[in-house]
């Protein structure tokens, strides 16, 4: 009984279900190369404004190829897998990965190389294309430039009278949702006052109507509207 179990164990160790031909090996390596190249190109495009070193994007291609070859070498041999783990544990990687997105692309290239190595070429290709499209879509939405915020300012020259203080707020509130008085000061050698308001326009197309309404207020001699983007 013991001899039978020993023979069965040796037969299982020698059994190699996963032994690709030279053509399958070449096809798997080419698929890994194609996936790694596409991943590298997408990474370069996404990180083009971050001054990412070119060595990292090149390493993604090599990582996909090396993972595919390692997967082919291991096959279904458990002893080789443990041997590889023991060998890799000796190596110490001291280069710190500073960005989470870089770690994601490393895992991305590693996974697609593994899929190509075991012969799941369709999964490797479809998975690479799908994830690259998702990454580009997320980049397009998250990296969109913010819309400029435009502030409206109204400068009015008027006489210092109660008529202006009563009629002017009514005219401003008709065309602006929010009105804030920023500054008021007297003009030198004149009896008039210059006031500066910050407005939040209800309809930016009604600028001329706002100016006409303000100029129609009694004792208002001048009104000008200007904008500032931030």
Position 3 scores a pLDDT of: 58
The percentage of the chain sitting over the pLDDT mark of 90, rounded to a whole number, equals 17
Position 131 scores a pLDDT of: 94
H helix and E strand count, the chain: 8, 4
Which of 85, 82, 61, 72 has the alpha carbon at shortest distance from 21? 72
DSSP letter for 230, please.
-
Query: How does strand 192-201 pair with strand 150-159?
Result: antiparallel
Of 13-17, 18-22, 166-170, where does mean pLDDT reach its minimum?
Answer: 13-17
91 three-class SS:
coil
Position 15 scores a pLDDT of: 46
Q: Is 104 left (phi over 0), alpha (psi -120 to 50) or beta?
A: alpha
CB 169 within 8 A of CB 80: no
| Distance (Å, whole) CA 107 – CA 112 | 9
Mean pLDDT estimate for the chain = 78
Of 27-41, 106-120, 140-154, where does mean pLDDT reach its minimum?
Answer: 140-154
| Distance (Å, whole) CA 8 – CA 141 | 58
Position 102 scores a pLDDT of: 85
Per-residue tokens: 27: 């096809």
Per-residue pLDDT at 34 exceeds 90: yes
Position 32 scores a pLDDT of: 93
Q: What predicted TM-score, i.e. pTM, was given to this entire model?
A: 0.54
Per-residue pLDDT at 137 exceeds 80: yes
At 6, the pLDDT band (50, 70, 90 cuts) reads low
173 three-class SS:
helix
Per-residue pLDDT at 90 exceeds 60: no
Q: Comparing 79 with 118, which gets the higher pLDDT?
A: 118
Burial category of 207 from C-beta neighbours within 10 Å (exposed 0-12, middle 13-18, buried 19 and up): middle
Position 94 scores a pLDDT of: 57
The percentage of the chain sitting over the pLDDT mark of 70, rounded to a whole number, equals 73
182 three-class SS:
strand
Position 155 scores a pLDDT of: 85
| Distance (Å, whole) CA 54 – CA 59 | 9
Q: Averaged over 76-89, what is the pLDDT?
A: 61
Per-residue pLDDT at 61 exceeds 90: yes
196 three-class SS:
strand
Enumerate domains of the chain plus CATH numbers.
Answer: 2-142 (no CATH), 150-229 (3.30.70.260)
Per-residue pLDDT at 82 exceeds 50: yes
């Amino acid at each position: 009984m013991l001899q039978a179990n020993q023979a069965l164990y040796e037969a299982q160790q020698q059994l190699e279900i996963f032994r690709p031909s030279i053509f399958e090996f070449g096809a798997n390596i080419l698929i890994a190369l194609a996936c790694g190249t596409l991943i590298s190109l997408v990474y370069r495009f996404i990180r083009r404004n971050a001054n990412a070193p070119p060595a990292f994007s090149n390493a993604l291609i090599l990582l996909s190829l090396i993972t595919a070859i390692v997967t082919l070498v291991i096959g279904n041999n458990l002893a080789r897998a443990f041997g590889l783990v023991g060998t890799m544990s000796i190596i110490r990687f001291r280069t710190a990965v500073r960005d989470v997105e870089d770690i994601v692309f490393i895992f991305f290239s590693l996974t697609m190389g593994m899929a190509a190595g075991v012969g799941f070429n369709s999964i490797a290709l479809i998975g690479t294309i799908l994830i690259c499209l998702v990454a580009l879509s997320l980049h397009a939405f998250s990296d969109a430039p913010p819309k400029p915020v435009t502030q409206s300012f109204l400068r009015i020259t008027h006489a210092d009278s109660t008529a202006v203080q009563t009629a002017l707020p009514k005219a401003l509130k008709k065309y602006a949702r929010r009105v804030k008085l920023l500054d008021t000061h007297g003009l030198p050698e004149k009896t008039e006052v210059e006031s500066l308001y910050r407005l939040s326009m209800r309809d930016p197309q009604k600028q001329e109507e706002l100016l006409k309404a303000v100029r129609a207020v009694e004792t208002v001699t001048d009104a000008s509207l200007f904008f500032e983007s931030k």
